[in-house]
A and B are shown apart, each in its own frame.
Chain A
Amino acid sequence: MKYDFFVTGDPIILMSQIGIGLTMIGLIALITYLKKWTYLWKEWFTTVDHKKIGIMYIIAGVLMFFRGGVDGLMMKAQTSRPGLELLNAQHYDEIFTTHGIVMILFMAMPMLIGIMNVLIPLQIGARDVAFPKLNALSFWSFFVAALLFNISFVIGGSPDAGWTSYFPLAGKEFSPDIGNNYYAIALQISGIGTLATGINFIVTILKMRAPGMKLLKMPMFTWTSLVTSVLIVAAFPILTIALLMMTLDRMFGAHFFTVAAGGDPMLWLNLFWLWGHPEVYIVVLPAFGMFSEVIATFSRKNLFGYVTMVVSIVAIAFLSMLVWVHHFYTMGNSAAVNSVFSITTMMIAIPTGVKIFNWLFTMRKGKIQFSNAMLWSLAFIPCFTIGGVTGVMLAMAAADYQYHNTMFLVAHFHYVLIPGVVFAVFAGLYYWWPKMFGFALNEKIGKWHFWLFVIGFNLTFMPMFFVGLDGMSRRMYTYSESTGWAPWLGFSAVGSLVMAAGFAALVYNLYWSFRYASRDVGSDPWDARTLEWATASPVQEYNFAVIPEVTELDQFWKDKKEGTNKIKKEDIKDIHMPSNSAVPIIMGVAFGIVGFFLVFEMFILSAIFSVGIIACLIANSFDYDDGYHIPAKKVLETERKWRGDL
């Protein structure tokens, strides 16, 4: 094994190392100075409250978005002119690898899971998720994995074989450095957390709905989250096993993916995409749900074609397990294999199209209100359609021999992932921010954020379709003048700056709103339809003083119209709540340490520290704390504060 502990010899990295060190010291000093350690520990690090866990997911997601975004900007700078040497080939490889992993696994997933965490119990009228402590463990294993992955570029070196890490390149023979160990281990740890989240949300949604809420009376976001959770449970074990095999190959000389001793590198591709394709739908389905909520609220109508919407989500989820080969048509499959997977892939466009029309019909004749959340949803529809249509082009195996691994493909998936996930997260944040924090984000700064980001996004990625058709393959770190791509790529680089300005506007908006926004938003600022708006803003720790009864799809809307949204004083009882626990964070840290030593192939140390993980499991088994009660009197007091008289 060969590695230098600290990555050395590059001024940019040296600067980042110093920067990271100083930021850490600064943060620790600041928290100590403000005497916030106990507050953080008690209120956040050990919390089992789904809302707080959700907020922590979202904060981590925003930070990771920044990190991934900087990666993206560096790539765009490097290819902005032909023959530039800002980054060398090795650096470029590392950067596109970490960009992809950070964006999908450490940005998109936590953002969506974070929003699911905040909202699902509220939308189904529950007081928490089914397994609150497990939920905290999910968060901490994700967070620790994200940290572990992110230190790779200063300690030991980043993975550089692409987010897909194809063998044989990703094997020990061609990637002897430890960078790829980070890939195998960090993804494994965060994958465990994600799997637990999937199980947690399936149980929560199936078992904890308010009385009367039949499956077909659930809000659309709850539906999409349920189906996403099912897909997580279906797909993530495949990743777990594939990564385990990768780890065995890389660290213990197994030969699952090396031809040398009878293994097969194509098996990696096959397993990776068996997980990878469902994964893209795992991130896009909750986003569909958020758009559905936002579009219905701001069109002042109920969602058009609710049942067809549900059927198409389930159809998408079902089909998404049957299309994985479209990522490697060119691997040399038989004609029968490629034809079958072409057809299944094209079939996915049908339910997706149904959903697009449902959104359009929801808006038809509605009184549309152009709030920021709605703007993002409106921009999503045409942009995502471009992504979907180019997807169908790629779906044709014969044609894909031309498109495969070109910039055309890169443009396709950015046109589905950015509108489908990032726009959705923005729409969701603007929409649900008041519920989470008790104030709204500024609409005017939000407009800057919106226009800069959407225009910048199109400027950045539209040219990629054309250079792709002109033969530029993906992951090229430089090119010559004679290719004629320079104008397109220069244009695209400028676009990425516009997009970055959009992100800056978002950050400014967060700052501005934290400081100056009115704290008096009321519990239902958008005149919305679903149960989460029947709680205070920010939401009381017990969510609902009295668990609501459900008879309609848009129950909260009905209650408002019929004046039945009052609760009765006599109905308020003591509320049972789960206690905080330090086990999840300690176990997360133990996972991180074990992971770190595994990355460096220090097996004895990692074995020693895995005792910590087992100890946490044992401690948890003997934990007989079954929570505490909030007395009815206190609940009544809290409710009076925002409802007025009761």
Chain B
Amino acid sequence: MSDALIQATGLTKRFDDFVAVDGIDFEVRQGETFGFLGPNGAGKTSTMRMISAVSPITEGSLSVLGLNPATEGPRLRARLGIVPQENNLDEELTVRDNLYMYGRYFDIPKSELNDRIKELVEFVQLTEKIDAKVDALSGGMKRRVTIARGLINNPDLYILDEPTTGLDPQARHVLWDRLYRLKQRGITLIITTHYMDEAEQLCDRLVVMDKGKIVAEGSPQHLIEIYTPRDVVELRFPIGVLETLNGKIEELFDRTEILADRALIYTDDAERMMATVHEHGMEPETVLARRSTLEDVFLRLTGRTLVD
């Protein structure tokens, strides 16, 4: 087989009758950062949990680091770093004790573990908090503890389920910076997110998931190129006005998305497009011209926004 670290074919997860992951195929290669982008309920976590050997697959085949998660779970998990969607830290314990306990589950010798804990805490910039109870940390700090915890065993594959959800912009940028450093060290990363900027910043390749299926796959650049024109103009109208336009916008332009409060018009020539809008007597409240993003790709593919 190829040099793929993960190979999934027809991967399916069902909870009773409900299909959470619906026969997806993907491959993750050594050293890349691979993303799963999708809205709530798309099946991202279910997929991560199958890869992490904490949830059995229902159908299809899955190989992770050349191992079968169903039969070689402990051996596989020994080589994975996992940052689950929920931190699941022991809030009563200190940062150090949380990392220590976790490290012992991997049977890391005590002296080595103590050094590793210091390094990791420094890496996530929590040195002053090492003996603070997790309880007393902010959300962003807790997330950083979880990030450090996931690295305790020097994983070959580092899996992060929504690493920055719920963090403020500054904390997100700190985390992105840390993840970027890991990536430069050559660690293979898997990230799920419903933030398109996160996916664009971090991922070499990604799949867009919706309702348990993969609807597109490629590098962020590639996806934007093939699914959307270069620019978007967002027209925001006073409440109620959009309805009275009666499909006029869709008639005038061939690539549009009409949302509740605004119309998106995709174009390669924003100026000419604006002229057309004015010629037809439409008076938007605000006009915003910007580059297309993965958000637009998602909108195009599913007719819905990522974060609602």
A and B assemble together? no
